[in-house]
Amino acid sequence: MSDESTEHWWLARIGDLLIWSRLRIRPSGTAEVLDNSGNLLNYDSEDSARSALMDAEFRALDGLDDDDALAFGLPLSELVPPQGDDATLPERMAQPVPARH
């Protein structure tokens, strides 16, 4: 098993906002989700964290295709997770969806 955590980004659309969540899988097999409120939610496994995200109607970014992305209002190439550390990420995890004409 690796000594490094792996990260996966998830997103949901609520009205005119894209809401991001970061799933981090620890080397031990446990997982944590950083939500857009800055909460760090701990789970006993990757599966339980993924289930919680799906129950909240989030979709895994790495599982989206072009048609799925358009349902979020943007082309897949424009669905880019926010950047920053755990202290600055939450303020960037709710992003307005630009109006398309």
Domain map (residue ranges) of the chain: 6-74
The distance in angstroms from the start CA to the end CA of the chain is 48
Q: For position 44, what pLDDT does the model report?
A: 98
Q: What is the pLDDT of residue 1?
A: 46
User: In whole angstroms, what is the distance from residue 75 CA to residue 53 CA?
Assistant: 22
Query: pTM (2 decimals)?
Result: 0.90
Strand partners, 11: 20, 59
pLDDT digits (tens, 9 = 90+) for 30-86: 999 999 999 999 999 999 999 999 999 999 999 999 999 988 888 999 999 999 998
With 90 as the cut, is the pLDDT of residue 92 above it? yes
